[in-house]
Structure formats: C-alpha cells, structure tokens
C-alpha cells in the first residue's frame, strides 16, 4: 500500500478510536451527573415527582446519547478532512525528497528542496540541501583533481615522447635521451608520491612519531638544505640562532618536511634580491615558527585557498615549480602533529606562514 492511503487510514483509525473512547467515557461519566440532577429535580417537585424519576433519568440519558451520535458523523467528517490534509502534506514532502534524491543519484548536484515552515520536514529539507551542496563540492573537487593531475602529467609525458622520437630520428643521442627521460620520469614519480601523501594526510592515515626535538637543530638542518637553491636564485635565507635547549614535541622528519614545503614555496615566490626570514617564539605550551618572505604576496580572495590541492594564484605557473600540493601536505602534517599552519599576506607585501607545534 502506498504511503498516502496508509497515513490516511492510520489517522482515521486513531480518530475513530478516540471518538469511541469519548462516547464511552461520556456515557460512564454522565451517569452519576444525571442521577444527581434527577434526584434534585424530584426533591424540588415533591411527592408528584417521585413517579417521574425513571422517565427523567432515561430521557436525559437518551438525549445525551442522541447528541453524541449526531455529533459523531460531523466529527468524523472533520477528522477525515484533517487527516487527508496532513497525509497529503507529509506525502508531498516525501515525494519531493524522493525526487531530489533521485536527481542527486543521477548526478544533478545542483538540485535543491524548498525550505518552508519551521517543523521537522523543513529541517529535513535543509539537511538535504546541505548534503547536496557538500556532494556538489566533492564532485567539483574530484573533477578539478582529475584535470589538475592530467595537466601535471601531460607535460612530462609529451616530453618523454619527444625525447624518444628524437632518439629514434638520430637528432638526439640515446644516452642524452635516456638522461632526459629519467629526469621526466623522476618528475612524474614525485607527483605520484605527493598525491599519495596528500591523500593519506587528508584521510588521517599518515604516520607520525613525535619525540623531543631540538628546534635549533630542525631549523639549522632546513637552512643547510636550502642554502644552495637560495644562493643560486640570489635570495637571502636568514635564520637567527636559537637556544639549543628549546625543544618541541614533534616528529623531526615530518616537521622538516613541513619546513621544506614552506621554504620551497617562499623561494618560488620571492624575486632575486629578496629575503626569506625564519624566526620562532614560544607562547604557553606552543612554539611558533614563522617563515616570512618579501615575495609577491597573496591577494585577499586567494588567501583562504592557498592550502587547497593544486590551487595556483598565478595560473601561468610553469613546470618545475612544484607539484601544487606542497602546502596541502604541510598543513595536513602540521595538524597531524598537534599543531597547525596558517598564513597572513597582502598582495605585493610578501607572505608570512606560521607553523605551530606543541612543546609537550
């Protein structure tokens, strides 16, 4: 049986039961009330009224019964109309939800339900719309991810094809072609590795092994690692010395990976002659490591998206400038370590990334 007739019958059954209970209760409750008033009338009428006791009692009971039986059809009619309206409203909402669910299942993520009223049905419609919006965002993210991965792989694949054809045509020696192909394959391997890591970070499945870690050694290692590329580009990397006793409770390998991604990003967006400065301070039980550059900065409309996968404020970014997921990985790792990674910036005034790590 369909939902509407089932709801209507349920409403009618409940209302019929209530009517029967009302009649029975009225009959039972009216008996002492009628008897009391009959005795009062007999008392006032005196001896002449004693013989009318039975007639008065039966007459009043018959009148009450007829009144109830007369009102019953009208009550059932009103109840039927009310039940019909209520059942229609519920089933209409269910049909609307069913149609919306079918549309979402077929890929129409833009479908929304009307949110009218203040009851649970309106709350259900609102929850459905929130779900639909989330699914639409997930689908868009999936489409963007596929497009971005294809974009990132297209260039090295085309380069590999070009080197192979050049070697076949004798334009390029086999040794040189193999070297170039190896370089492109390394680029693709790095992209695949980064994608694997970002998926594990976002799923909360990345392994971390926190321990007492010297912050001075962590920054010194990062400075030593990045000194050559900074010198090659002509950008100053400034890391003031820190007390060797300052320790954070973190995974040194993962923390170093975070700093590497942030420093790579700073170097990529800082012009020759600029500066990247790494400082730190403690507040309470947290240490803050700040990487401040004098680069191009980030416009306000892009500031909230810098940690998204493959997001580029500059769509003209060329190959070799990172996989596009470095900052996504960095923030995910920072949160896995019990801290966070935030950014402050103004267009043309550089950017400041702040890594927070627990001291204990």
pLDDT digits (tens, 9 = 90+) for 285-316: 899 999 999 988 888 888 888 887 777 665 44
Q: Residue range 194-223: average pLDDT?
A: 84
Give the span between the Cα atoms of 334 and 269, in whole angstroms: 22
What is the pLDDT, as a whole number, of residue 176?
A: 87
Q: Is the pLDDT of residue 233 over 50?
A: yes
pLDDT at 88 over 70: yes
Q: Which residues pair with 159 in a beta bridge?
A: none
- How many C-alpha atoms does 246 have within 13 Å on its Cβ side? 19
b (16+ CB within 10 A) / e for 278-316? bbbeeeeebbbbbbbbbbbbbeeebbeebbebbbebeee
Q: Which residue has the higher pLDDT, 319 or 279?
A: 279
The pLDDT, as a whole number, for residue 243 is 78
Domain spans in the chain, listed from the N-terminal domain onward: 3-108, 142-202, 211-358
Share of the chain above pLDDT 70, in %: 81
Q: pTM score, two decimals?
A: 0.58
Match 């070697």 to its residue by tokens.
167
> CB of 188 within 8 A of CB of 156?
yes
Between 257 and 317, name the one with better pLDDT.
257
Task: Look at residue 86 and give its three-state secondary structure.
Answer: helix
The mean pLDDT of the chain is 80
Q: Among 1.10.1370.30, 1.10.30.50, 1.10.287.130, 3.60.20.10, name the CATH number for the domain at 142-202.
A: 1.10.287.130
Q: How many CA atoms lie within 13 A of 343 on its CB side?
A: 25
Between 81 and 178, residue with greater pLDDT: 178
| pLDDT for residue 35 is more than 70 | no
Residue 52 is predicted with a pLDDT of: 61
Is the distance from CB of 346 to CB of 301 less than 8 angstroms?
Answer: no
Residue 318's pLDDT is: 43
Answer for the pair 289, 219: CB distance below 8 angstroms, yes or no. Answer: yes
Q: Which CATH number fits domain 211-358: 3.40.50.300, 3.30.70.270, 3.30.565.10, 3.40.50.720?
A: 3.30.565.10
Mean pLDDT of 70-98: 75
- Mean pLDDT, residues 58-70 taken together: 70
């Amino acid at each position: 049986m369909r939902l509407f007739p089932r709801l209507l019958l349920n409403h009618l059954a409940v209302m019929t039961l209530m009517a029967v209970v009302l009649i029975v209760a009225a009959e039972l409750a009216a008996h002492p009330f009628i008897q009391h008033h009959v005795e009062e009338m007999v008392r006032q009428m005196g001896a002449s009224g004693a013989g009318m006791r039975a007639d008065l009692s039966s007459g009043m009971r018959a009148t009450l019964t007829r009144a109830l039986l007369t009102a019953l059809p009208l009550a059932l009619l009103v109840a039927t109309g009310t039940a019909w309206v209520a059942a229609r409203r519920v089933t209409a909402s269910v049909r609307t939800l069913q149609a919306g669910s079918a549309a979402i299942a077929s890929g129409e993520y833009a479908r929304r339900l009307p949110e009218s009223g203040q009851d649970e049905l309106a709350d259900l419609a609102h929850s459905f719309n929130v779900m639909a919006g989330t699914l639409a965002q997930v689908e868009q993210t999936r489409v963007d991810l596929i497009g971005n991965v294809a974009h990132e792989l297209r260039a090295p694949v085309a380069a590999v094809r070009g080197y192979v054809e050049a070697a076949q045509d004798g334009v390029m020696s086999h040794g040189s072609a193999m070297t170039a192909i190896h370089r492109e394959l390394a680029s693709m391997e790095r992209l695949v590795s980064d994608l694997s890591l970002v998926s594990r970070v976002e799923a909360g499945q990345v392994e971390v092994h926190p321990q007492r870690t010297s912050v001075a050694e962590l920054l010194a290692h990062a400075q030593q690692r990045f000194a050559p590329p900074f010198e090659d580009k002509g950008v100053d990397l400034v890391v003031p010395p820190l007390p060797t006793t300052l320790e954070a409770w973190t995974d040194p390998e993962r923390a170093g990976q975070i700093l590497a991604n942030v420093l790579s990003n700073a170097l990529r967006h800082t012009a020759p002659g600029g500066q990247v400065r790494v400082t730190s301070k403690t507040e309470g039980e947290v240490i803050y490591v700040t990487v401040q550059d004098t680069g191009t900065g980030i416009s306000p409309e892009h500031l909230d998206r810098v940690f998204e996968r493959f997001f580029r404020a500059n769509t003209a970014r060329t190959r070799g400038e990172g996989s596009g997921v470095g900052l996504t990985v960095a923030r995910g790792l920072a949160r896995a370590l019990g801290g966070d990674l935030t950014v402050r910036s103004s267009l043309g005034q550089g950017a400041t990334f702040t890594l927070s790590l627990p001291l204990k």
